[in-house]
Each structure stands twice: as C-alpha cells, then as structure tokens.
Amino acid sequence: MKNMKRNMKRKMSPLCFIWIFAASLFTNSSVLAQSCDIGSPNLFLPPEWTPYGGFGDSLAVSDTRIVIGAPNINGVNGTVSLFDALSYELIAQLVPIGGQAITFGESVAIDAERVVIGASMNSDIGLFYGAAYIFDALNGDQVLKLIPEDGGIAARFGASVAIDGDRVVVGALEDNDSPNESGAAFLFDTNTGEQLLKLIPENGMRGDFFGASVSISGSVVIVGAPGDTTNGEYSGSVYLFNALTGGQIAKLLPSDGMPEDFFGAQVSTNDTTLIVAAVRDWQSMPLQRGSVYVFDLLTGEQQFKLFPSKGAEVGVFGASISLSDSIAAVGARSEGEGVVYLFDTATGEQLTKVVDDVSAVPNLFGRTVAIHNGNLLVNSWHQKAFLYDIGFVQCPADFNADCSLDLFDASAFLNAYSEQESAGDFNADNTFNFLDISAFISAYAQGCP
C-alpha cells in the first residue's frame, strides 16, 4: 500500500505542476489570452454589382488565380470573375461564347492552366440539359464547351465540376438516361473535350442524386449521392471509380449513418485523403447539426469524424468543404453567425476557426469555401469574398482551438495528459511524462502567430 501511494504521488506530481502553471496565468496578464488571429483578409467585390447576383456562390483558388462564380449576376445569365491571386487584380469576366448563360458559374474548379465552369440549367440542347465550359486560366479565353453524348432533358449536367490535370469530371445529378435513373457523372479530356466515360453507380436508385458532388485525384473519381437510401431515406453515400476504366472501386458509407444525413452532399480530396460532408447529421449535442468524415482515399477506410469543439450551437456544419494538403476548411453557421473551421485531417483535431469581422451581417459567411496551399477563400453576405493567408494558423498550445491561449487550454491539456489520450503526448514520443508538460509550457510561452 505504501508503495502504491508513493507511485501515485510520483505520477501526480507533474499534474500538480501544470495546475500551478495554469493558476499562474490569472496573475500574469502578459501571457493571458494570446490570440492566434490569422490576420485581415483581402476583399473581393463583383465587378458589376446587382441585387441577388450570387457573387461568391462558387469559389476556387490556385497558386496564381482566384475564381468567383456569380450564377445570377444579371438576373438570368451568370458570370465568373477571374482574379490574379498575387496582385488581386481582375483578369477577366468569363462568359460563355454563344448560347445561354443561365446558372453559368454555379460550380467552378481550377487546376494550374484550366478553369472549368458548370451551368446545369443551360437549355441550348434541351430544357435544363446543362453544359460545362473550360477556360484558359492565364488569359480567360474560352477553350471548350462540354456537352455529354448521352445526357438528357433536365439532367442538370454541370451541377458539380472538378478538374485534375487533363481530366474533368462533371456531375448530372438528375440524369435519367441510365437504367436506374440515379444520376450520372461524366469524365472528359480537358485538351480535346472528348467524353471518356459515363459513370453510373452499381445498384443505384432513382432519387440518389448521384453527381450532386464530384472530385477527382489522379486515377480516382469521387461522386457523392446524398439521396442514397442504404442507411435510410436520404442517408447518402459516396462512390469511388477508376478514372481510366470507369470501374466502380468502392461505395463509402459513414460508420454511424442515419436517415436524412445527406452524406455525400459535398466532397473534396487530395492525393491520399477524402473528406465528405453529411450536412444534416445530428450530433450528440442537440444544438449541433452536420458533420464531416475523413476517409483514406487509398483504402476507403473512415479515419475521423469532424465537428466543432466546445459544443457551440452549429447548424449546417459542412455546408461547404475544401481540402488542401492536410488542412480541411469547413463552412458552418455557429451561434447565428457564419464560421469557417479549420481541421488537421492527419489527426482529426480542430486547428482554429475563422469569423467575419468585416461584414455588417456575417450570417452567410462560409456558405462556400475553397482552400489551396495556405490560401483560404470564403464568401460572405452582400456578395463579398475574402482571401485569408492561413499558412501560419497552427498553434499547438491552443488546445481547445478557440483562437486564444488561456486557462482553458491548460485544463484541456491536463485532462488529455491525465487520461493518457494521444493529444496529451505533446512531444509525440509515445510516452507520458514531464517532457510533455515541458513541451506544452514552452509552446504556450511562445504564443500563437
């Protein structure tokens, strides 16, 4: 018994130390509540402002270009603004050559040299047959117009688009040309405009809305079907296809799928990781709605389920998502205002959150997001878009990811350390000892960028 008490005392002594450190924060105002603010954003406005123009309804960003869609800028016809990502100057207003521009810009995507734009209500061929366009990202010239060989009336081809190198994938969520009328996705060559594949899910059903969201990474095409009924009505699913053969690789479902989750409403990927939004998933906290799942793209295994920390009131978490490297940006409504949360998909940890400190009415902030190599593009109320530099958002000592360093971070670390959770192994050496506490204190003292 004496040995046990001595062991307990020895184990608890570092915990006592961290409590003393945490308590000292109250008496040291110089280190209390240090902020990890990511700084002021650059503001983008529509070149032609009209009521309900929809500027910012779709977004894409690359190293050198910013793409902002306004699908109803003239009441009927849409436009897309192409900006220089370095100088922030407008390069061109993109409009289709000939034909209709109805909902032009409702979906956009960009790679190094090409911009792809969807217009699912284009009726050049038939009512809401849809169309997609490819533009030169350098000068804004139209290169190709994409029309499916075997599309259909009201198929809404162009509702979602994605691009990777010489391949473009376009979703047609109401395509009924297939035997199961589940929707479809089409793969095109970006250089020739040739249709390469038409993708249809195995055992799909009418109303699956297959093609509501799409993404592509190398040889893998990702297609969301938020109306899928595998786990109940509108529970949703996501499909993986081989971009070379068109063969279905896998059908992904969340580990805790339920009816009306709308899993697959949004998808985004990098070379190895896939994130999927379930915009109506109800969390254990009654005021939280929506979640985002992280999958290994190579194996199809679910790795994490993301939702905001601290139990804030959140509605439609995952309304928009975007992934770059290991950082996932997730748009949501939180406590009546729009918020964008940033997560590390390698660990599932929330890094920080971004709020609109500029607009008078910030409740639409984050309805669409795009992220690429440290650049975060977010839309907001009254047709605004903001570009943030998030290259320095990580602040390891901000344990509860509320963008400030205070007693709550010390308490959160203490709890993780005492429960021997992975986050408590602060120096990542697979042991729990005084070195973890020392590393946390050092990180805290350095503050947030």
137-146, 167-176, 374-383, 394-403: lowest mean pLDDT where? Answer: 394-403
Under 8 Å between Cβ of 281 and 260: no
Task: State how far the Cα of 437 lies from the Cα of 284, in Å rounded to an integer.
Answer: 31
Instruction: Tell me: do 436 and 302 sit in the same domain.
Output: no
pLDDT in tens, 119-129: 998 877 877 88
pLDDT tier at 27, thresholds 50, 70, 90: very low
367 lies in the same domain as 410: no
Shared-domain flag, residues 256 and 399: no
Q: Out of 394, 410, 432, pick the residue that ends a domain.
A: 394
In 3-state terms, what secondary structure has residue 241?
Answer: strand
Asked, for residue 18, whether it belongs to a domain, the answer is: no
- Is residue 35 scored above 70 in pLDDT? no
**pLDDT tens by residue, 266-302:** 999 999 999 999 998 876 555 568 999 999 999 999 9
State residue 9's pLDDT score.
40
What is residue 229's predicted lDDT score, i.e. its pLDDT? 95
**In this structure, is residue 35 part of a structural domain?**
no
Contact 148, 198 (CB under 8 A): yes
300 shares its domain with 449:
no
C-alpha neighbours within 13 Å on the C-beta side of residue 326: 11
Residue 22 lies in a domain: no
Domain containing 139 — which CATH number?
2.130.10.130
Q: Which CA distances in Å does 350 have to 292, 305, 315, 399, 413?
A: 12, 11, 17, 9, 14
- 414 and 371: one domain? no
Question: Does residue 416 sit within a domain?
Answer: yes
User: Would you place residue 2 in the very low, low, confident or very high pLDDT band (cuts 50, 70, 90)?
Assistant: very low
Residue 223 confidence class, pLDDT cut points 50, 70, 90: very high
More confident residue, 356 or 156: 156
Domain match, 327 and 404 both: no
Which residues span the domain enclosing 441?
Answer: 395-449
Q: How confident is the model at residue 67 (pLDDT cuts 50, 70, 90)?
A: very high
Instruction: Kindly state whether residue 251 falls inside one of the protein's structural domains.
Output: yes
Whether 106 has a pLDDT exceeding 70, the answer reads yes
Domain boundary among 352, 377, 394: 394
Q: Is 32 in contact with 406 (CB distance < 8 Å)?
A: yes
> What pLDDT, on the 0 to 100 scale, is given for residue 179?
62
Q: Is a pLDDT exceeding 70 seen at residue 265?
A: yes
pTM: 0.81
Q: How many domains does the chain fold into?
A: 2
Q: Give me the amino acid identity at 415.
A: N
- Which position has the token pair 């793409």? 67
Q: How confident is the model at residue 312 (pLDDT cuts 50, 70, 90)?
A: low
In this structure, is residue 20 part of a structural domain? no
Residue 447 falls in which region: left (phi positive, over 0), alpha (psi -120 to 50) or beta = left
End-to-end CA distance of the chain: 48
Cβ contact 134:154 at 8 Å? no
Q: Is residue 23 part of a domain?
A: no
Torsional class of 158: left (φ above 0), alpha (ψ -120 to 50), beta (otherwise):
left
254 shares a domain with 337: yes
Please compute the mean of the pLDDT values over residues 176-193 and round it to a whole number. 86
Q: Is the domain of 399 the same as that of 288?
A: no
From the list 237, 234, 207, 233, the residue with the least C-alpha distance to 224 is: 237
What band does 110 get if pLDDT is binned at 50, 70 and 90?
A: very high
Average pLDDT over residues 342-369: 82
The dihedral of CA 350, 356, 362, 367: what is its sign? negative
pLDDT at 21 over 70: no
Answer yes or no: do 271 and 352 share one domain: yes
Give me the chain's average pLDDT, please. 84
pLDDT bin (cut points 50, 70, 90) of residue 77 is confident
User: In terms of domains, do 301 and 181 share one?
Assistant: yes
Per-residue confidence (pLDDT) for residue 14, from 0 to 100: 52
Residue 7 covered by a domain: no
Please write the tens of the pLDDT for every residue from 204-219: 888 999 999 999 999 9
**Token pair of 51 as six digits:** 């009521």
Cα 152 to Cα 74: distance, rounded to the nearest angstrom: 27
The answer for residues whose C-beta is within 8 angstroms of residue 396's C-beta and 6 or more apart is 426, 443
> Which stretch of 28-37, 116-125, 158-167, 271-280 has the lowest confidence by average pLDDT?
28-37
83 shares a domain with 143: yes
Per residue in 375-402, pLDDT (tens digit) is: 999 998 778 899 998 865 556 777 766 6
Residue 1 has pLDDT above 50, yes or no: no
Last residue of a domain, one of 373, 394, 415: 394
Is the Cα torsion angle 121, 124, 130, 131 positive or negative in sign? negative
Least confident of 153-157, 249-253, 369-373: 153-157
Looking up tokens 């016809």 gives: 77
389/399 same-domain check: no
